[in-house]
Amino acid sequence: MTRIVFEKPDAVALVAEVFRELGYEGASMSSITARTKLSKGSLYHFFPGGKEQMAAEIMAHIDAWFVTEMFRPLEEGDPRAAIARMWETTDTYFRSGRRVCLIGAFALDETRDRFSSAIQNYFQRWIEALAGALTRAGLAAAEARMLAEEVVVGIQGALTLARALGDDAIFGRTLARLKERLGAAIEESVPPARII
Amino acid sequence: MTRIVFEKPDAVALVAEVFRELGYEGASMSSITARTKLSKGSLYHFFPGGKEQMAAEIMAHIDAWFVTEMFRPLEEGDPRAAIARMWETTDTYFRSGRRVCLIGAFALDETRDRFSSAIQNYFQRWIEALAGALTRAGLAAAEARMLAEEVVVGIQGALTLARALGDDAIFGRTLARLKERLGAAIEESVPPARII
DNA sequence: TATTTTATAGACCGATCGGTTTAGAAGATC
DNA sequence: GATCTTCTAAACCGATCGGTCTATAAAATA
C-alpha cells in the first residue's frame, strides 16, 4: 500500500479547509479523512484531543497568522501603510470573498460556546488594532473606534452575502467602499499644521 | 403518560429556534426532540421529509414573514415609512442582535448547497426591495442599490459580531449608523422643487 | 546496520445519528 | 356514542458518529 506522509502544519491547514467548508458539526471524521487524505491514525496522532483539538489549533493558527500579517502592523507600524496592507491582506486571505471566515462561522452556532474566548479575542483585537492605527493617523478615539467596528462588520457581512448570493463581487465592492470611507476620514483629520 | 399536542405552525417555530441555535448539522433529531418537547413521531408526522423538510419549511416561513412585514411594504408602500418600519422590524426580529439570522448562518457552510436558491432569493429580494424604496424616495438607481447592499451587509455583519463578541450593543450601534446614513442620503436627494 | 521514535492504515468499539414502525390516545365527524 | 382521522410516544433499525487500538512502515538515531 502507498503510504502518504504529512507534517503537522500541513495537517492543520488541510483540516482547516474542511471545517471552513462543512462547519464544525458538519465536518465528520470520515469527511475529514476523505477530503484531506489523512487517515484517522494520522489525525489522532497529530490531534489526540480529536475534533475539538483540531479546531482549537486551527483557530490558534489563524489568529497567529493575522497577528503577524495584520494586527501587529496595525498596532505598531506606520498606520497608513498598515491600513493599506490590511486591505490587501483581507482580500487575499478571503480569496476575494470565495473563502469564508472560519472564526466568524464558528461564532454563529453553539460551536461558539466551545471557543468563545478565542473567537472574541480575534475580533476584538482586529477592531482595536485598526482603531489604534486610525487614532495614530489622526482620528479622534471615538471616531476611530466606530470606523474600525464598521470595517470589521462590513467584512463579515460581505463574506456572508458573497456566499449567500453566490456572487463574490459584493466582497470587492464592500472592501472598496470601506477603504474609501476610511481614506476620506483620514484625509479630513489631517492636522491643522498641514492645512495652513 | 401526559400527551402534549402541538399544531404545525408551532412546530415550525419551535424547530426553527433549535436550528438557529445549533445550526443545520448541529441540530440532531434528539436535540430537537429534547428542546422542543416534540416526539420523533410528531416531528415525522409534520415533516415526513425529515430534517431537510423542516429546514425548507422554516426558511419558507421566515421568507413569507419578511415578505409581508418588510419586503412588500418596501416594494409598494410609502418608501420613507417602509424604511422606518424596516429598522424597527429588523431590531425586533433579531432581538437587538441576540438572535442570529438562520438564513445567513445556512449560507456559510455546505448547508448552503441544499438551500441555495431560497438563501439567494431572500437576500436578493431584501436588497432589491430596499433599493427600490430608496429609488422611489429620490435616489439614483445606482446609489440606491449600493446603499441597500451596504445596509444588508451591515446587518449581517453586525449579527455575526454581536455573537462573536458576546455584545449585543454592536448591533444597535450598526443599525443606528446605517439608519443615519440612509436618512442623510435621502435628505440630500430631495427634489430641487422643495429646496427652492 | 541495529535500535528507537514517529507516523500511517484501517479494523474495531460503543454511542448516537436520521429515519421507520407500531400501538394507541385525542379530536373530529357523524 | 361509534367511527374515523389526526397526532403522539417510544421501541426499533441500519448507518454513521467520534474515538481507540494494533500492526507496521518510514525516519531518525545510534
Instruction: Point out the nucleotide closest to A1 (alpha carbon to C1′).
Output: C9
Asked whether residue B13 is assigned to any structural domain, the reply reads: no
- Per-residue model confidence as pLDDT tens digits over B104-127: 999 999 999 999 999 999 999 999
For residue B137, being part of any structural domain is answered with yes
Query: For the segment A105-144, what is each residue's pLDDT rounded down to a tens digit?
Result: 999 999 999 999 999 999 999 999 999 999 999 999 999 9
* A196 min Cα distance to partner chain B (Å): 30
Q: How far apart are CA A36 and CA B102, in angstroms?
A: 29
Taking residues A155-177, report their average pLDDT: 98
Among candidate residues A108, A125, A114, the one with its CA nearest the CA of residue A53: A114
Nearest partner of B107 among B92, B86, B93, B126, judged by Cα: B126
Least CA distance to A175: which residue of chain B?
B150
pLDDT of residue A192: 54
* Spacing of A114 CA from D29 C1' in Å: 41
- Chain C, protein-covered positions (CB within 7 A): 7-12, 16-23, 25-27
List the grid coordinates of B101.
Answer: 439570522
Kindly report, residue by residue over A9-55, the tens digit of the pLDDT: 889 999 999 999 999 999 999 999 999 999 999 999 999 999 999 99
Query: Cβ of B40 < 7 Å from strand C?
Result: yes
Q: Is the pLDDT of residue B164 over 50?
A: yes
pLDDT at B81 over 90: yes
Nucleotides of D under 7 A from a protein CB: 7-11, 16-23, 25-27
Confidence label for B4 from pLDDT (cuts 50, 70 and 90): confident
Residue A147: give its domain's CATH number: 1.10.357.10
Give me the mean pLDDT over the A48-74 stretch: 97
Nearest to B177 among A110, A150, A160 (CB): A150
Average pLDDT, integer, range B74-81 = 97
Q: Quote the CA–CA distance of A127 and B91 in Å, as a whole number.
A: 23
Q: Would residue A161 count as lying in a domain?
A: yes
**Is A61 inside any structural domain?**
yes
Inside any domain, residue A2: no
Q: Cα separation of B23 and B165, whole Å? A: 19
To the nearest whole Å, the CA of A22 is away from the closest chain B CA by: 5
Is A164 inside a domain boundary? Answer: yes
Q: Alpha helix locations (H) across chain B? A: 8-22, 29-36, 40-46, 50-66, 72-76, 79-93, 102-108, 111-114, 116-136, 141-165, 169-188, 192-195
Task: Note whether A165 contacts B123, CB cutoff 8 Å.
Answer: yes
Q: What's the CA gap between B56 and B54, in Å, rounded? A: 6
pLDDT over 80 at B195, yes or no: no
pLDDT interval class at B54 (50, 70, 90):
very high
pLDDT at A76 over 60: yes
Q: How many domains does chain A have?
A: 1
Amino acid A189: pLDDT = 85
pLDDT of residue B42: 95
What residue numbers bound the domain in which A184 lies? Answer: 56-195
Nearest CA in chain A to B171: A153
Domain assignment present for residue A34? The answer is: no
d(CA A44, CA A34): 15
Contact of A116 with A168, CB cutoff 8 Å: no
In a domain, A21, yes or no: no
Stronger pLDDT, B195 or B181, i.e. the higher one: B181
Please state the ipTM of this predicted complex. Answer: 0.92
Contacts of A170 in chain B (CB under 8 A): 149, 153
Share of chain B above pLDDT 90, in %: 90
Contacts of B47 (CB under 8 A, 6+ apart): B11, B15, B53, B54, B57
